[in-house]
């Protein structure tokens, strides 16, 4: 099992976490490393293991509690592991899968866990699995069902990449499957059959013609999206196929509920067989909440709209103020070129360290 030094520079710790591969569903090794490091190097914390999630908390009797949550998993490897470092000083950069999404945030939280034995607020750390896949597998959802008392608090900070700026709210996400049906026949006599792959031409045309909304809420700008994420069909090389499938991911601004988003997609794909396979609501910015506003101030007052869906929405649904705050440019997440400025990791560590110890 890799050994992690939680007291080291959070940039070094990020690099160490990046080099432990942890594609969704394969987080056992990184979870073991995080658990054993917390037990050995943060003895002031109560630590529990839940599947491939690791939870830790103080119980100092403080009047308020802050939850710091980060997922340990990544999207599939794309020629971008192991990580590497370039530059130095202000120009130092970490490259590789997870540098942005979101081992920089995890490293900051782990560093705070080991180095702040007496925080101003009680703190709960949640390192969890399967954020990058279907909502039903999400480790935070499992914790919500199995260990709900661990998620309560007065403010949640999700360490997803936000350019080291507070990001408020998040967009909802919905995955649908559109299925076409046909009739099999030999391709030499195609007029006897009906081609289910050809029947995808029209839904693909609608997708390419789709104009996503741009929505303003509380002065923040949310930009929606509608993207095919999977297509499949075919029987064999000389058979007109009788079934095909198009999976689509919709990202919707938090002024719409999942029900409204589903209604919208049913209108877009009117006439086709559409099934919702996965859905997570967005979260309104919630900047009026005192604890959120206090953190925004501590970070210098800058705030932006969160476009990606993050588990901020889960905490919002629990009735807690919740924001995103983590190192890394979210537009680089899930790309082969994923990389983060070391300075952003240090900035997040500094702001949160000040917020929790002041």
**Is residue 208 a contact point for its own copies (CB under 8 A)?**
yes
Min CB(294)–its own copies separation in Å: 27
* Catalytic residue status for 27: no
Catalytic residue among 27, 122, 131, 262: 131
Of 184, 264, 266, 350, the one binding its own copies by CB under 8 A: 184
* Residue 73 bears catalytic tag: yes
b/e map of 119-157 (b: 16 or more CB within 10 Å)?
bbbbbbbbbbbbbbeebebbbbbbbbeeeeebbebbbbb
**What does the DSSP 8-state code read for residue 266?**
H
Position 223 contacts its own copies (CB under 8 A): yes
Using CB under 8 A as the binding rule, the residues of this chain from 27 to 66 that contact its own copies are none
Stretch that binds its own copies, among 3-11, 70-78, 106-114, 149-157 (CB under 8 A): 70-78
* Site for its own copies contains 235 (CB under 8 A): yes
- Spatial neighbors of 163 by CB under 8 A, at least 6 apart, are 304, 327, 328, 329, 330, 344
Query: By CB under 8 A, is residue 213 in contact with its own copies?
Result: no
The residue behind tokens 């490293």 is 107
User: Could you give the C-alpha distances from 239 to 101, 246, 285, 318, in angstroms and in order?
Assistant: 43, 20, 52, 51
CB of 306 to its own copies, least distance (A): 9
Does 278 bind its own copies (CB under 8 A)? Our answer is yes
Of positions 29, 60, 75, 276, contacts its own copies by CB under 8 A:
75
- With CB under 8 A as the rule, give the number of residues binding its own copies: 63
**Angstrom distance (rounded) from CA 132 to CA 89:** 32
Cα 122 to chain centroid, rounded: 24
CB of 138 to its own copies, least distance (A): 12
**Number of other residues whose CB lies within 10 A of the CB of residue 280:** 22
Q: How far is 326 from 352, CA to CA, in rounded Å?
A: 10
Could you tell me the maximum CA-CA distance found in the chain, to the nearest angstrom? 77
User: Which residues are the active-site residues?
Assistant: 73, 131
Site residues, its own copies (CB under 8 A): 75-76, 78, 101, 132-134, 171, 173, 175, 183-193, 195, 197-198, 200-201, 204-205, 207-208, 223, 225-241, 244, 246-247, 249, 251, 278, 307-309, 330-331, 333-336
């Amino acid at each position: 099992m890799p050994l992690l030094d939680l007291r080291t520079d959070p940039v070094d710790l990020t690099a160490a976490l990046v080099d432990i591969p942890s594609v969704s569903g394969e987080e056992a090794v990184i979870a073991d490393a995080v658990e054993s490091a917390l037990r050995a190097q943060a003895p002031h914390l109560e630590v529990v293991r839940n599947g491939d999630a690791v939870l830790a908390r103080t119980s100092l009797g403080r009047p308020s509690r802050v939850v710091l949550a980060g997922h340990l998993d990544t999207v599939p490897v794309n020629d971008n592991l192991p990580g590497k470092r370039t530059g130095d000083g202000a120009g130092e950069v970490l490259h590789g899968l997870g540098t942005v999404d979101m081992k920089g945030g995890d490293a900051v939280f782990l560093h705070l866990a080991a180095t702040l034995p007496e925080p101003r607020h009680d703190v709960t750390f949640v390192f969890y699995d399967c954020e990058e896949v279907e909502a039903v597998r999400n480790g935070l959802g499992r914790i919500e069902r199995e260990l709900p008392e661990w998620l309560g608090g007065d403010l949640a900070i999700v360490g997803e990449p936000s350019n080291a700026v507070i990001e408020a709210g998040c967009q909802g996400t919905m995955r649908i499957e559109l299925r076409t049906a046909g009739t099999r026949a030999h391709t030499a006599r195609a007029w006897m059959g009906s081609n289910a792959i050809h029947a995808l031409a029209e839904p693909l045309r609608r997708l390419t013609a789709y104009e996503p909304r741009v929505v303003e809420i509380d002065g923040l700008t949310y930009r929606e999206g509608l993207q095919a994420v999977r297509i499949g069909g075919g029987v064999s090389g000389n058979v007109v196929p009788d079934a095909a499938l198009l999976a689509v991911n919709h990202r919707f601004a938090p002024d719409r509920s999942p029900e409204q988003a589903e209604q919208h997609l049913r209108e877009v794909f009117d006439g086709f067989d559409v099934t919702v396979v996965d859905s997570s609501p967005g979260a309104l910015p919630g900047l009026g909440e005192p604890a959120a506003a206090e953190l925004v101030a501590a970070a210098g007052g800058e705030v932006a709209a969160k476009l990606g869906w993050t588990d901020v929405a889960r905490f919002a649904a629990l009735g807690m103020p919740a924001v995103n705050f983590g190192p890394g440019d979210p537009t680089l997440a899930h790309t082969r070129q994923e990389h983060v400025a070391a300075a952003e990791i240090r900035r997040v560590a500094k702001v949160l360290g000040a917020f929790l110890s002041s």
